[in-house]
Structure 1
């Protein structure tokens, strides 16, 4: 069970007091002392006091401040000395004394300068907020911080504004409102002029993340703060960070590291008389001993801590200690002490509640009395103002009477002169009006005449211009119609010419193919077929070992072999033997594209490997592409064709794509071209796939695997054996 789960909020408050407010004293002491170019003796004494305190010589500053209070009669010096004593007792965690001297400082804060008065109020409000927070009265602490923020904003005191913002964030953190607390602490990190506020914010952010069990993130912020504290050589800060890190280790069940850091914090706090920090470290150590069920050791630590909390007046710490002692007594079956500690716990809780309620009642009483006094003052001010107004009105009335008498005398004298001059003026005005009327009548007549003339001239010019514009519009319209019709006719003529050229090319290609086939069939039938028939007859008539006709048969086989060879050479285009395959194919496609409206793009990779294929495969690929082009020109009505040849690991891929009309592959009836294409691809031991849809074009994907096996009969004995090889085999058998 975690007895002291508030962890470090008191310690952080103390940290902020020790270096946050100390920095304020250093920054703001010029506001109290060095405002005038020439200092008095008391101003110099106050400056020396704050210099001693900021250097760390607290006791000397304390003694001098008391001696100054005994001798001075200046309210300003008294307020400054009281404020320094309030800081001193706050640092020593003597809360009652700190609150007393803070109230004394605010009481004697009667400086004429509003800015100086406001600064001292802001510092005093911060001390009150911190002291009430140490007592556990968080509502009061929040109230004084809000008043301090208002006071610091009034005169744009940036340092004091961030001081109170930091303190308000601590109150939110204590109340469990981590969202608003984090927001305010991160706002404080923007203030770069005071390093104490920065590493104080780092420590508090680390504690909030630790409370949310994000220990790695907490340690990151605590280590940032530790680095800054070591640069500033601030022992107070170092002690607090040691407690924070120890609490993180304790939450992660690393008790050895936690105890080491708590002991380190106790040593630093005892050496520098940081009473509350030492109390927190000891109570956290007692908490660990209580969790380990080391009740006697924990009880000793809690009792020593209770003595310190009673001396310092730390009510919240007392409730925590009494609660822990009650649990130890119950665990040791000491029910008498358990009952005693429980009663003490509830007494302190009641006293905290009573203090808060009593404070609110007193404040309401003060507010009521002040409001009554303000109303009385306002009534008196209103009466005085009305009396002043009546007196001023009477004086003004007397002055007005005198002025009216003088004016009436002058008016009587001027009336006669006025009537005489007015009659003469009226006569001259009447004559001038008559002349003006005559001139205006002439001007109106002239304006009417000029208007009519301009209207007539405009109409005379407008009628022929509109007629010309209408005629021009009609001509333009007729010309546009004529141009559009001529464009249509010319486009139709061009399309007709292109179609005629395409048909001529197709017809020439088909007729050439037909002639070539007819020639090949005749050649095979007449020469090669005859020779083979004669050889067959002679072989059938050979009897036994009669080899008399063997020489004649051998000659006929040689002749047939030569005929087959010459026929195969005639089938191979001459361009293939003289040029590279890709260049021949690209030239052929360019010729087709130039002679038609087709835009053909060709891509081969790698060209070197494709050019090195056997002539037989090149011829078949060439004829396959011819067949696909013929199909597209006849049926597809395409404007673009894309052909790709890709050779990958000995496999050849042919991709043929057009943007034509397409067709439905599900109800398609194969024609002669499709059958020829299928036969050629099958001959190459390949496969192909046709993907087409209406109005989307057609894609033909052909895969020819291991073309080397096709070219080399040893790798594939069932493919690639032509008529020449059969004759050689027959010859060898004979």
Structure 2
């Protein structure tokens, strides 16, 4: 399980906000007795600490800032900064906590060495905690070791165990569990501080849990829980609940673990325990992963990540990205898995870089301290020298007289030196004048050579300029000739294309004329003759003779069949031999290749469209032909999208192009538009065009499809009704 990443290093002195004044003022009475003149307690600072320890932390925070504005006593400033550092540490605002800790150490100039050392020890502890929260474990270890040294110097037992406890946690984070257990058990001997004992119980429980000794882990967690309930310690409760939940998780009891983690999250959010809140969410996310509830896990990890980024907790961010990567792998989302892996790697690199920067800063601090020590030694030496001079004033006076004589001789020597230097300068001036004359001669010679060079260059430049001008004129004439030739070529090509179009149109008209002639002959010879015969028989119809009526009925059937066969001969053969959509797609493909217009065609559903009535298919085909012709002729479009849908007995045609468009209000209706409108009205359809200049055109057509009725059936019913009427008459 991976929630150990946050919890083990987070178990950092849960007593920080509960015994703050006791930590600093542990030996207040003793110090007052020893140095009542040197140390005078600041009443405002004491009241501030009392307010913080009563739980009114936000009021204490505001009052601390007002004290910093008005305080002049370095001790008050240092202690106020330290309180602000603890305030931000509790809320996992690491940068602010480190800043105020450094400010406290900066103003820690108390005369009393023991009190000064105690405040340094507290500051070192707080720095170690902040760097541990950031995941910089080696940096944290360094400050704990410095704190142990400072607390041992003046036998500060409480602070000694504080740093021992913190160092044990660092060992635990680094995986050195033997040293960690040894130090935590040493902390249990500190009977005067329940908070250190509580932290030790929890940490020992965590280590045993990690070593899979769940029974011992539960024993120590329960001991810690008893102390939390006695002291009303919310932070301790959260950590104990996290430990118990982790134990359940390791024993494959996810539901019990989830219950513990959710209870811990509720307390952490309520008490503004931000880092514990992040760890609780991460623990819940891990439980969801074990239950294969990956979406819930991703959601809770996202909340934890957002808080980690906000508070600058690098180690938490790295671990959360690792968990999100595992979820992505489980969901086979390898793209996001790789993305999370990269982010985790970048954060780990930044942690390593920070470690290196800290080491460099540490070396810089050491260098500066050595420099200051040297300066102090130099000052001491000067003081000793002054003492010697004061002790030997008579000898100093004698030395002064001697120095005066020496200075007189030095003055004489300086006068002689000045005379020698003046002579040297005169000689140097004469040499400089000669150099100037030589340089003047060289400059005149250079001017003459430059003038000769420029003249020769100009003589060569003039014919070159003439040649270039002639070349430019020829190039310009040739360019104009090329343009004219290109125009003539394009005109010839356009003429050839127009001739081809005219030939095609003539052939089409000729074919149409022949087809009309054939249809007229068919109508005149066959259908016309039949209708004339039927008319004569009806005029001389004998109602009583039923056989005559049957003959007329048979002639009507024959005429109907002739009309039907004629209409079928008018249908294109490709509709009768192929499926409708195949014919239409082939037509669109040919048009696209010929016109270089990209045509996208989307039919739905294909089967129902192919099974539509042939009349509707023909009309739809002709409508698309008309729309496509108009688009190619007028729209200057590069792309066309056609959607043909047949849903709930309605044919919907959506035709869209990316052409130049037109203003529908000002555009006059052409023949093609009128033909299109007429076709759609015959089919009881609706027709809508949306177009604007430079935006393209969208045409939406809807045609309702009525239930097909058999013409033969209707005709037969009508004839039967007529026969029944004749019989009754």
TM-score, normalised on structure 1? 0.51
Indicate the SS of the match to 1:265: helix
Which residue does the alignment assign to 2:194?
195
C-alpha distance after superposition, 1:379-414 (max 9, x if no partner): 554465477569869999xxxxxxxxxxxxxxxxxx
Given that 2:9 and 2:169 are in contact with CA atoms closer than 8 Å, whether structure 1 keeps it comes out as no
C-alpha distance after superposition, 1:253-274 (max 9, x if no partner): 1112111111111111122111
Given that 2:19 and 2:53 are in contact with CA atoms closer than 8 Å, whether structure 1 keeps it comes out as no
Q: Could you tell me how far 1:338 is from its partner in structure 2?
A: 2.4
Q: Could you tell me how far 1:369 is from its partner in structure 2?
A: 3.2
Q: How does 1:78-477 map to 2 (within 5 A)?
A: 78-379=77-378, 381-382=380-381, 385=384
May I ask how many residue pairs the two structures share in their alignment? 397
Given that 1:33 and 1:43 are in contact with CA atoms closer than 8 Å, whether structure 2 keeps it comes out as no
The 1-side partners of 2:182 and 2:163 are apart by 14
Distance 1:108 1:380, change over 3 A: closer
C-alpha distance after superposition, 1:558-600 (max 9, x if no partner): xxxxxxxxxxxxxxxxxxxxxxxxxxxxxxxxxxxxxxxxxxx
The 2-side partners of 1:126 and 1:8 are apart by 19
The 2-side partners of 1:6 and 1:22 are apart by 31
Q: How does 1:485-634 map to 2 (within 5 A)?
A: none
The 1-side partners of 2:204 and 2:186 are apart by 11
Distance 1:364 1:39, change over 3 A: closer
C-alpha distance after superposition, 1:347-404 (max 9, x if no partner): 21111111111111122122123323423543554465477569869999xxxxxxxx
The 2-side partners of 1:309 and 1:107 are apart by 29
Distance 1:288 1:222, change over 3 A: same
Which residue does the alignment assign to 1:505?
none
C-alpha distance after superposition, 1:457-506 (max 9, x if no partner): xxxxxxxxxxxxxxxxxxxxxxxxxxxxxxxxxxxxxxxxxxxxxxxxxx
The 2-side partners of 1:6 and 1:299 are apart by 18
C-alpha distance after superposition, 1:493-522 (max 9, x if no partner): xxxxxxxxxxxxxxxxxxxxxxxxxxxxxx
C-alpha distance after superposition, 1:83-132 (max 9, x if no partner): 00001001111111100000011111111111111111011000000000
Q: Could you tell me how far 1:311 is from its partner in structure 2?
A: 1.2
Distance 1:88 1:380, change over 3 A: closer
Q: Could you tell me how far 1:47 is from its partner in structure 2?
A: 0.7
Indicate the SS of the match to 1:13: coil
Which residue does the alignment assign to 1:507?
none
Which residue does the alignment assign to 2:69?
70
The 1-side partners of 2:111 and 2:94 are apart by 30
Q: Could you tell me how far 1:16 is from its partner in structure 2?
A: 4.9
The 2-side partners of 1:124 and 1:44 are apart by 22
Given that 2:148 and 2:160 are in contact with CA atoms closer than 8 Å, whether structure 1 keeps it comes out as yes
Distance 1:30 1:85, change over 3 A: farther
C-alpha distance after superposition, 1:516-535 (max 9, x if no partner): xxxxxxxxxxxxxxxxxxxx
Q: Could you tell me how far 1:192 is from its partner in structure 2?
A: 0.9
Given that 2:165 and 2:200 are in contact with CA atoms closer than 8 Å, whether structure 1 keeps it comes out as yes
The 2-side partners of 1:20 and 1:195 are apart by 10
> Please, which runs of 5 or more residues in structure 2 have no aligned partner?
396-729
The 2-side partners of 1:288 and 1:298 are apart by 8
The 1-side partners of 2:118 and 2:154 are apart by 8
The 2-side partners of 1:390 and 1:71 are apart by 45
Which residue does the alignment assign to 2:588?
none
> Please, which runs of 5 or more residues in structure 1 have no aligned partner?
397-734
Q: Could you tell me how far 1:191 is from its partner in structure 2?
A: 1.0
Given that 1:4 and 1:284 are in contact with CA atoms closer than 8 Å, whether structure 2 keeps it comes out as yes
Q: Could you tell me how far 1:142 is from its partner in structure 2?
A: 0.6
The 1-side partners of 2:390 and 2:40 are apart by 50
Indicate the SS of the match to 1:8: helix
Q: Could you tell me how far 1:56 is from its partner in structure 2?
A: 1.2
Which residue does the alignment assign to 1:60?
59
Q: Could you tell me how far 1:157 is from its partner in structure 2?
A: 0.9
Q: Which moved more, 1:255-264 or 1:375-384?
A: 375-384
TM-score, normalised on structure 2? 0.51
C-alpha distance after superposition, 1:227-285 (max 9, x if no partner): 12211121211111111011111101111211111111111112211111121111011
Q: How does 1:694-709 map to 2 (within 5 A)?
A: none
Distance 1:257 1:39, change over 3 A: farther
Q: Which moved more, 1:326-335 or 1:166-175?
A: 326-335
The 1-side partners of 2:223 and 2:241 are apart by 13
The 2-side partners of 1:22 and 1:222 are apart by 28
The 1-side partners of 2:321 and 2:194 are apart by 38
Bigger-Rg structure (1/2): 1
Which residue does the alignment assign to 2:8?
9
The 1-side partners of 2:28 and 2:391 are apart by 49
Given that 2:164 and 2:187 are in contact with CA atoms closer than 8 Å, whether structure 1 keeps it comes out as yes
Q: Could you tell me how far 1:202 is from its partner in structure 2?
A: 1.0
C-alpha distance after superposition, 1:712-732 (max 9, x if no partner): xxxxxxxxxxxxxxxxxxxxx
Distance 1:184 1:20, change over 3 A: farther
Given that 1:86 and 1:102 are in contact with CA atoms closer than 8 Å, whether structure 2 keeps it comes out as yes
Which residue does the alignment assign to 2:497?
none
Q: How does 1:666-681 map to 2 (within 5 A)?
A: none
The 2-side partners of 1:216 and 1:115 are apart by 44
The 1-side partners of 2:29 and 2:275 are apart by 31
The 1-side partners of 2:335 and 2:305 are apart by 19
The 1-side partners of 2:290 and 2:85 are apart by 38
Distance 1:27 1:214, change over 3 A: same
Indicate the SS of the match to 1:56: coil
Distance 1:348 1:41, change over 3 A: same
Given that 1:302 and 1:321 are in contact with CA atoms closer than 8 Å, whether structure 2 keeps it comes out as yes
The 1-side partners of 2:33 and 2:278 are apart by 39
The 2-side partners of 1:26 and 1:246 are apart by 38
Q: Could you tell me how far 1:11 is from its partner in structure 2?
A: 3.3
Indicate the SS of the match to 1:15: coil
The 2-side partners of 1:33 and 1:274 are apart by 37
Q: Could you tell me how far 1:206 is from its partner in structure 2?
A: 1.0
Distance 1:350 1:228, change over 3 A: same
Q: Could you tell me how far 1:333 is from its partner in structure 2?
A: 3.0
Q: Could you tell me how far 1:216 is from its partner in structure 2?
A: 0.4
Given that 2:14 and 2:195 are in contact with CA atoms closer than 8 Å, whether structure 1 keeps it comes out as no
C-alpha distance after superposition, 1:652-695 (max 9, x if no partner): xxxxxxxxxxxxxxxxxxxxxxxxxxxxxxxxxxxxxxxxxxxx
The alignment yields a C-alpha RMSD, in angstroms, of 2.9
The 2-side partners of 1:4 and 1:393 are apart by 75
Given that 1:243 and 1:281 are in contact with CA atoms closer than 8 Å, whether structure 2 keeps it comes out as yes
